[in-house]
Amino acid sequence: MNFKLLLSIVFQSVLFALILFFVSFLGLNLFTDIINNLVALFIIMFIISLLISISSTLEHDRSRGITRFFVLLSQFLIWFSMMYLILSAIIYLTLMFIAIPVDYLLAIYIFIIPIIAIYGYIKAHTIKINEHELFIENLEEEISILHFSDVHIGSVNRGKLLRNIASKINSVEADLAILSGDLADGSCPIAIDDFSYLKESNIPIIFTPGNHDYYPGIENVIKAAEFAGLKVLLNDKISFKSLSIHGFFMASVLKPGVSIKNSEDFSRINPDELNIVINHFPTNWEEFKNMGVDIQLSGHTHGGQFYPIKFLIRGMFKYVRGVFKDNNKYLVVSDGVGTFQSPIRWGTNSEILLLKLKKISN
């Protein structure tokens, strides 16, 4: 381990320890005088943070059970720290106007956040299939497409999630499945067989990478996806029944991929065809509509995943979650089937969308 890496681990550990220390101090200070134990409290938080930082660093080289445990622990600690910081702020503000008995405060601290965590964990690990009908002009035959996004296979989400996805795919009648990015997470390397459970799908799966798929090496992700039987569609086009399906990685977030300004990258989009575009980011819908795209499939936002992040995401993106329609053209933004960071959902679904393409009746 070189000096620069060691310095980075120590810096991360101190920073995380300070966050944990501050949140712990705010909470404990409501119930007891901890002024004389501040040093001990910080040391405890630093040791926890150091173990987490070391584990996270080791995970980037090779995934192990023990390091995955500490990475998972860190994600829970981050979520709990955020929630308890918000709860503490609310309580301190409330106490300025209303006296609350200590027993009530203790009950609030013991039960509210853990109950939300249990609910959110169950919610994140329960895949729902949400059905929508899309009415398309010049549709030759009705087609059912399963759309999902943001699986985030890495240190937290593993093979069990992929097996559940394959099971859900096989539980409904559909012609095709489309995965609109972030199959990988980037928290650990991707091995050739990491996505192999998706081989259990009874229908073809088309996959267009997202930004997180570049973090563990896009070549590794593509090889593992192809080993699992997925058709990787990256800045290219494929025909399926009466559909022309295009997969792009837009350069609005990262350098690799294509730019909407480079018209030659989109020369394969024929406005006379029935076009579906897979674009991980829920952006550039106006441009794609003008090119003759009937349906854009996106993800990336996770629908906000949980409160209060949902409010932040709404400020960052115009289209956050759901199905949007304009002149019989559609943008479909998935909540995602996996999770990023904390494996918790609150106010969103772990979802696979069943899109039933219907003919417009004359």
Helical axes 3-28 vs 65-95, angle rounded to 10°: 40
Residue 135's CB is within 10 A of a number of other CB atoms, namely: 14
Distance from C-alpha of 214 to C-alpha of 182, rounded to nearest angstrom:
9
**CA-CA distance, 32 to 93, in Å (whole number)?**
18
Q: Residue 25 is inside which H or E element, if any?
A: helix 3-28
pLDDT values of the chain reduced to their tens digit, one per residue, 362 residues: 577 888 888 899 999 999 999 999 888 888 877 777 888 899 999 999 999 999 999 998 889 999 999 999 999 999 999 999 999 999 999 998 998 888 888 899 899 999 999 999 999 999 999 999 999 988 889 999 999 999 999 999 999 999 999 999 999 999 999 999 999 999 999 999 999 999 999 999 999 999 999 999 999 999 999 999 999 999 899 999 999 999 998 765 555 566 776 666 788 899 999 999 999 999 999 999 999 999 999 999 999 999 999 999 999 999 999 999 999 999 999 999 999 989 999 999 999 999 999 998 76
Instruction: Check: pTM over 0.85? Answer yes or no.
Output: yes
Phi, psi of 278 (to 5 degrees): -100, 115
Number of H helices, E strands in the chain: 8, 12
